[in-house]
Structure 1
Amino acid sequence: MNIQKAKTEDHIRLTEITKKSKAYWGYSEEQLEKWSNNLTVTADYIQTNPVFNLVDENQIIGYYSYLKKEDNQVKLDNLFILPEYIGKGFGSFLMNDFLERMRNEKCQKIILDSEPNAEQFYQKIGFVKIGEFETSIKNRFMPIMEMNL
């Protein structure tokens, strides 16, 4: 198992992982279709932003990406793994690689908008909820979280 920089041609696989991972939380097909554009990873996105794949036995099984916001601050934009790998330590493996990369880049603060079902995962790692916003689903709120390094 290793982490590799994503290539633009990985965009189809990363979109598949994103959509399957989101579906894991029980959202309806109709809702997932409404989110389709937001769950699509384009070749341009990979070319423009840092994207790193989790590869196991030559298969991409997850990935993360981030956006550089301002000096010493980044936003974790995506962290997804295939549903069959959820709860088996692969998300933590991805997150540890991301955090090590951020420390090496002298990042001082990380922010993210968490999937509500993943909030506890981020809390265990050390992220703190600093706010929330309502999503397109009534009474569904996305936690805004941060971590100081």
Structure 2
Amino acid sequence: MIIKNANPDDHIILTGLVKKSKAFWGYPPSIMKKWDNDLTISSDYILKNVVCKLIFNNTIVGCYSFIKKSSKLVELDFFFILPAYIGKGLGTFMMNDLFKRLKLNNIEIIKVISDPNAENFYKKFGFTTIQKKESLIEGRFLPNMEKYL
């Protein structure tokens, strides 16, 4: 298992991975279609942001990305694993890599707007829910979370 920086040519594989992972939670196709742009990782996005890919058995099975908001703050933008690999410790491996990378760059705060299904995953790593933001789906609220490193 290894984590490497993504390159622009990875954009199609990463976008497919993100969409498969999001669909894991049982969202209907009509909702997934509304999120199409939000779940797309373009080659331009990879050039402008930190995007990392998790490689397992020569296959990209996970990814994460963050956007630097200030010298001490980042926003976790993508954090996804292919459904077949969920629950096998790969998320922990990726999260530990993320934290190590952020600490090396003197980042003090990481924020994320989480899918409600992933809130407990983030809490496991010390994230705190500071508020809930209404989503496009009526009655569904997105946890706005943060962690101090």
Q: Does TM, scored on the shorter chain, surpass 0.5?
A: yes
Letter in 2 for 1:73: L
| Equivalent runs, 1:22-33 vs 2, <5 Å | 22-33=22-33
How far did 1:86 drift? Answer: 0.6
Q: Which runs of 5+ in 1 are unaligned?
A: none
Counterpart CA distance in 2 for 1:23 and 1:41 is 16
Equivalent position of 2:133 in the other structure: 133
- The secondary structure found in structure 1 opposite 2:69 is strand
How far did 1:31 drift? Answer: 0.8
How far did 1:52 drift? Answer: 0.5
- The secondary structure found in structure 1 opposite 2:38 is coil
How far did 1:42 drift? Answer: 0.3
Q: Which runs of 5+ in 2 are unaligned?
A: none
**What TM-score results when the alignment is normalised by the length of structure 1?**
0.98
What does the per-residue CA deviation read over 1:119-145, in whole Å, with 9 as the maximum and x for residues that have no partner? 000001100000111110001000000
Number of residues of Structure 1 aligned to a counterpart in Structure 2: 149
Identity of aligned residues (%): 48
Equivalent position of 1:103 in the other structure: 103
The alignment status of 1:53 with 2:70, answered yes or no, reads: no
Counterpart CA distance in 2 for 1:72 and 1:141 is 27
How far did 1:34 drift? Answer: 1.2
What does the per-residue CA deviation read over 1:83-124, in whole Å, with 9 as the maximum and x for residues that have no partner? 001111111111110001011111110000011000000001
Equivalent position of 2:36 in the other structure: 36
Counterpart CA distance in 1 for 2:87 and 2:27 is 19
Letter in 1 for 2:125: I
Counterpart CA distance in 2 for 1:74 and 1:17 is 23
Equivalent position of 1:4 in the other structure: 4
**What TM-score results when the alignment is normalised by the length of structure 2?**
0.98
Equivalent position of 2:143 in the other structure: 143
Equivalent position of 1:14 in the other structure: 14
